[in-house]
């Protein structure tokens, strides 16, 4: 096919917070004119200030603002936006929105509406993957019509099983069932939950795989059927189905496994005619068997770690693809270099059951320096509200090796100051000191058993040892310098240094 370019100059970003800022930055580098939309809660938000133009789209609740197709399209028409980037969440995986953009002559910077639909129905997605020869987890072929049908299937595949919502994804509406006598009530509860959350109570069943890792592959496809993959992201460190830390590459994926998983991910994408950026999720067992779970038809929260290990700006590639250009990346040229880690910083109190911590951030000090990237939408005076996701920043580091990346992350976490609210930074620091994390030997159940208080105590012992060592070193130094010139050392006191470092931490 010959190239059909649909170049655009004005891009509307239909999102808020760190991802809106992230997208606006790439738009600015491409010389595009940018348009932000905001709810009344975000009147002073960073994405509003960053864009060339900004329009209010209504009251704080997302349903009346960031989720309103009508309001966003009205701003697009009024402002003359020729393309819309949906970011993640909100309308990013809404096939009606993608279709409405298309029908209004606006480029949706993402996949075709049909591809979103094909992957949005998780039962259809399983079928598509299977038909393409991709391994899936043992489970149902179609929707479960009745509890009885679920019972028969569960007996066949064996307990424990997982009930999943056909319209779900990302672990929403999942329910573990460990024995036959739990099934009937679990089925009813899961169906009702799915109906309430997605307007569709359809369920399917899969065998529950345990002791596995959650590994996903980034793909990029163009309008001409070319698809490449950009390696994996390790996403097993999750809490209540929310990812907390991601890293690339995974400690258990070698070059051969990366190539094989990548080829399978490309096949899944091609099976739904995939255009733009997408992510294929897999479970990886201890024997390195991998199973397709679902495909996310959007830019993901954790995309920066892939950017740091491949050197590819995924948002720039998304925009090029959406304007009809041929993929400029070739599989043979895509190399994973070094190691990247992302910590999701959220306004939650890790010492109080991760309760949301709302209020004014009176002061922000962001880490920087070699290999450090901070994607955030907050600033001095920012108000954290309960209207939106508590994630307020992503701290991402890159280094030559994973060990250096961990040390760098610890350094950057210690530098990071968000005064006025509680954050999960102390939790991240403890995870970076956890022998299990450092050894890279964890599965998706790791965080369920991770105990912050316990880890604080071991860490305190470590700090006492460090202070003792500093004291001894100081004493020795004093003795030496007295011997040499009879005066006090003009070096700063080790105690002072230790205290300053400790103060940085809290």
Report which of 213, 211, 209 is spatially closest to residue 245, judged by C-alpha positions: 213
Do residues 475 and 481 lie in contact, with contact meaning Cβ atoms separated by under 8 Å? no
Of 67, 345, 444, 446, which lies in the binding site for ligand MV4, with binding defined by CB under 6 A? 444
Q: Rounded to whole angstroms, how far apart are CA atoms 226 and 328?
A: 10
Among 100, 118, 154, 208, binds ligand MV4 (CB under 6 A): 208
**Catalytic site residues?**
298
Q: Does 215 bind ligand MV4 (CB under 6 A)?
A: no
Residues touching ligand MV4, count (CB under 6 A): 17
CB of 71 or CB of 207, closer to ligand MV4: 207
- Does position 206 bind ligand MV4 by CB under 6 A? yes
Those residues with Cβ within 8 angstroms of residue 503's Cβ, 6 or more apart along the chain or in another chain: none
Please identify, among the stretches 233-241, 311-319, 328-336, 386-394, the one whose residues bind ligand MV4 according to the rule CB under 6 A: 233-241
Residue 289: φ, ψ to 5°? -80, 140
What are the CA-CA distances from residue 370 to residues 404, 408, 409, 412 (Å)?
A: 12, 9, 11, 10
C-alpha to C-alpha distance for 382 and 386, rounded to whole angstroms: 13
Is the separation of the CB atoms in 390 and 347 below 8 Å?
A: yes
Q: Which residue has the tokens 């610890």?
A: 410
On whether the CB atoms of residues 338 and 399 are closer than 8 A, the answer is yes
Q: Which one of the spans 6-14, 110-118, 190-198, 206-214 is the region binding ligand MV4 (CB under 6 A)? A: 206-214
Between 107 and 137, CB nearer to ligand MV4 = 137
170 binds ligand MV4 (CB under 6 A): yes
Q: How many Cβ atoms sit within 10 Å of the Cβ of residue 358?
A: 14
Least distance from ligand MV4 to the Cβ atom of residue 379, Å: 32
Exactly one of 82, 222, 281, 342 binds ligand MV4 (CB under 6 A); which one? 281
| Contact call for residue 171 and ligand MV4 (CB under 6 A) | yes
Through-space distance between the first and last CA atoms of the chain, rounded to whole angstroms: 59
Does 144 bind ligand MV4 (CB under 6 A)? Our answer is: no
Among 294, 317, 342, 348, binds ligand MV4 (CB under 6 A): 294
Question: Which residue lies nearer to ligand MV4 by CB, 85 or 207?
Answer: 207
Minimal distance, residue 120 CB to ligand MV4, in Å:
13
Where along the sequence are the contacts to ligand MV4 (CB under 6 A)? 137, 162, 170-171, 206-209, 214, 236, 238, 241, 281, 283, 293-294, 444
């Amino acid at each position: 096919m010959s190239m059909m370019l649909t170049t655009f100059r004005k891009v509307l970003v239909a999102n808020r917070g760190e991802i809106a800022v992230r997208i606006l930055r790439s738009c600015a580098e491409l010389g595009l004119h940018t348009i932000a939309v905001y709810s009344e809660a975000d009147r002073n938000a960073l994405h509003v200030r960053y864009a060339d133009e900004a329009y209010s789209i209504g009251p704080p609740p997302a349903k009346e603002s960031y989720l309103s197709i009508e309001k966003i399209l009205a701003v697009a028409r009024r402002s003359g936006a020729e393309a819309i980037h949906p970011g993640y969440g909100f309308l990013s995986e809404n096939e009606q929105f993608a279709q409405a953009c298309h029908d209004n002559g606006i480029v949706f910077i993402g996949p075709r509406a049909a591809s979103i639909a094909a992957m949005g129905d998780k039962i259809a997605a399983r079928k598509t993957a299977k038909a393409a020869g991709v391994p899936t987890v043992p489970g149902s072929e179609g929707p479960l019509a009745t509890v009885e049908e679920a019972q028969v299937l569960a007996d066949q595949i064996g307990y424990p099983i997982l009930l999943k919502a056909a319209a779900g994804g990302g672990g929403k509406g999942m329910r573990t069932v460990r024995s036959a006598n739990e099934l009937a009530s679990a089925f009813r509860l899961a169906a009702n939950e799915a109906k309430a959350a997605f307007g569709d109570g359809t369920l399917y069943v899969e065998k529950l795989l345990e002791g596995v890792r959650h590994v996903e592959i980034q793909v990029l496809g163009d309008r001409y059927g070319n698809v490449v993959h950009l390696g994996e992201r390790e996403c097993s460190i999750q809490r209540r189905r929310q990812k907390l830390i991601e890293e690339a590459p995974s400690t258990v994926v070698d070059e051969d496994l990366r190539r094989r998983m990548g080829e399978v991910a490309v096949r899944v994408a091609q099976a739904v005619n995939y255009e733009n950026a997408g992510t294929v999720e897999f479970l990886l067992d201890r024997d390195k068997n991998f199973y397709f779970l679902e495909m996310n038809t959007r830019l993901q929260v954790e995309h920066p770690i892939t950017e740091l290990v491949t050197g590819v700006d995924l948002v720039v590639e998304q925009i090029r693809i959406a304007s009809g250009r041929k993929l400029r990346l070739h599989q043979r040229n895509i190399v994973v270099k070094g190691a990247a880690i992302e910590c999701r910083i959220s306004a939650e109190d890790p010492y109080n059951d991760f309760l949301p911590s709302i209020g004014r951030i009176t002061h922000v000090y962001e880490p920087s320096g070699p290999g450090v990237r901070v994607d955030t939408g907050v600033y001095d005076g920012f108000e954290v509200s309960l209207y939106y996701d508590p994630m307020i920043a992503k701290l991402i580091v890159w280094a030559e090796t994973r060990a250096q990346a961990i040390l760098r992350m610890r350094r950057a976490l210690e530098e990071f100051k968000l005064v006025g609210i509680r954050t999960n930074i102390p939790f991240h620091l403890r995870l970076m000191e956890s022998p299990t994390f450092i050894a890279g030997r964890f599965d998706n159940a790791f965080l369920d058993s991770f105990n912050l208080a316990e880890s604080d105590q071991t860490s305190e012992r470590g700090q006492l040892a460090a202070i003792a060592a500093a004291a001894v070193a100081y004493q020795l130094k004093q003795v030496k310098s007295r011997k040499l010139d009879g005066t006090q050392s003009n070096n700063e006191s080790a105690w002072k240094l230790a205290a300053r470092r400790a103060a940085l931490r809290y």
